[in-house]
Structure 1
């Protein structure tokens, strides 16, 4: 009987630990400094949200939305996987979309899960009918006090063809080049929203200053020294799972995301939203 009680206690403790790892939200605050950031955008706050995957954060995502609102940002940028194709819950995703747009202007790009979601037409219809702006392979300007910065968004590569198609990434790159070429002409600070961080070697060849990505889920399980253990499309011991990476004048900022997919738990890897403050470099 004693051993059964001990075993039960271990199971309860493990369940509580895993639940808290999955549901205790954190905020990662980052600062990006650049000479091309206009004076009027000095202090501008981007609330970066990624990989919702239908995660439960209270009824109608109230705990998550309360945390987003508390950041007092200027805009919400959602970098894909708002749905999970294996555990679809269209209603929860739609409630989350509505909740974000009631807080701030919200811009969105697709992730790989949208590409394989059977009810994607219904979700796309819900997005069109909402206040959330889907950046469908296009670049727009965010304006503030007479100045502007560029905001570009590209669909996940699987929207350019089946994952086994060897020309998918070639078409993806061609679209990206076409989309951001105007950034060369006006020399404006340019943000690119693109779901996959492992394509950083491609992004850094483009005229973009800041790339926002997700997809890697922080490596799912994070341990000291080795950090993230596994990420989709990067495999074991992935390089790009969180934080900031810089190369060739381009900064990549990765969100560890909110939900899970194939692997149902996070370990030492709390769900996060990222708040990025833009600062002008004098």
Structure 2
């Protein structure tokens, strides 16, 4: 008989089931290597949100490895996914002159419930005002320590976003703390470290980027450099913080420093919500 560890038991007690599939699409979409889909089943997902499709991208770093043709293909891929909402994890650009074209491209992705984003360290270091202006122009929602409500069929879920997660002196209180335990809450943060550094109480799913999956790795198993003070722990994929809250960390799309990826494929993440009924 297989034994269940205390950590596994705690995860199960949260009423969560997660499975994933990967489709490689590099030949069809130049800017993306794969689509990673997570079927996320949770007791707090309202019945009206059964099958709800969340598209999540992060770290475009336009124009690093991601150039014009890749951005165009990324937009086409996102449109083809027929998501109900688009979430973006920040680090949009590699230069202020690239902010208007990248925002104009992303604005072509129309979803029933819109586009929500947080910003990354690149975005706070440069071009912040440009990004805010462009997002407002296109009707995108910037979640800087804010919570917004997604409504469907008379029911609702919540999406919360973290402002500059590297400045804990100012932003070290999670925007999820004012929500209720039985709300279904997605927390969007640029870096996964935030979900370990501070209590993110009432979060049911955390979405993060920043690590680039290591960008250059040894067969995807180990990265010599990871921009996280937790090392390999939050490198990529489905992880859990110390409170056993599931966290999906995307490899992102673009690159930083050098325009190269090795065993850390650029990806779009899709999350399909399901209500736990048993």
1:71 aligns with 2:66: no
Deviations 1:183-233 (A, max 9, x none): 22x621111001001233235652211010000001011223733332223
Partner Cα separation in structure 1 for residue 270 and residue 198 of structure 2? 21
Query: Superposed, which structure 2 residues align to 1:120-199 within 5 Å?
Result: 120-158=128-166, 168-174=167-173, 176=174, 179-184=175-180, 187-199=182-194
**Contact residue 229 and residue 238 of structure 1 kept, 8 A:** no
In the other structure, the counterpart of 1:210 is 205
- Structure 2, unmatched stretches of 5+, are 1-29
The verdict on how the C-alpha distance between 1:140 and 1:69 changes in structure 2, with shifts beyond 3 A counting, is same
**Contact residue 57 and residue 64 of structure 1 kept, 8 A:** no
Query: Superposed, which structure 2 residues align to 1:98-137 within 5 Å?
Result: 98-101=107-110, 105-117=114-126, 119-137=127-145
In the other structure, the counterpart of 1:271 is 266
Deviations 1:94-118 (A, max 9, x none): 222322347861111111111111x
Partner Cα separation in structure 2 for residue 189 and residue 99 of structure 1? 28
How far the C-alpha of 1:92 sits from its partner, in A, is 2.7
Partner Cα separation in structure 2 for residue 93 and residue 105 of structure 1? 17
In the other structure, the counterpart of 1:258 is 253
1:80 aligns with 2:79: no
Deviations 1:225-272 (A, max 9, x none): 73333222338x522121111243411011100001112211122210
- Stretch moving more, 261-270 or 37-46: 261-270
**Contact residue 219 and residue 263 of structure 2 kept, 8 A:** no
SS in 1 for 2:109: helix
The verdict on how the C-alpha distance between 1:91 and 1:181 changes in structure 2, with shifts beyond 3 A counting, is closer
- Stretch moving more, 92-101 or 61-70: 92-101
- What is the root-mean-square deviation of aligned Cα atoms in Å? 2.5
In the comparison of the two structures, how many residue pairs are matched?
A: 246
Larger radius of gyration: 1
After the TM superposition, which segments of 4 or more aligned residues of structure 1 sit over 6 Å from their partners?
none
Partner Cα separation in structure 1 for residue 213 and residue 84 of structure 2? 25
Partner Cα separation in structure 1 for residue 239 and residue 45 of structure 2? 19
- Stretch moving more, 98-107 or 248-257: 98-107
Name the TM-score, length of structure 2 as normaliser: 0.80
SS in 2 for 1:149: strand
In the other structure, the counterpart of 2:19 is none
Partner Cα separation in structure 1 for residue 254 and residue 161 of structure 2? 22
Question: More helix per residue: 1 or 2?
Answer: 1
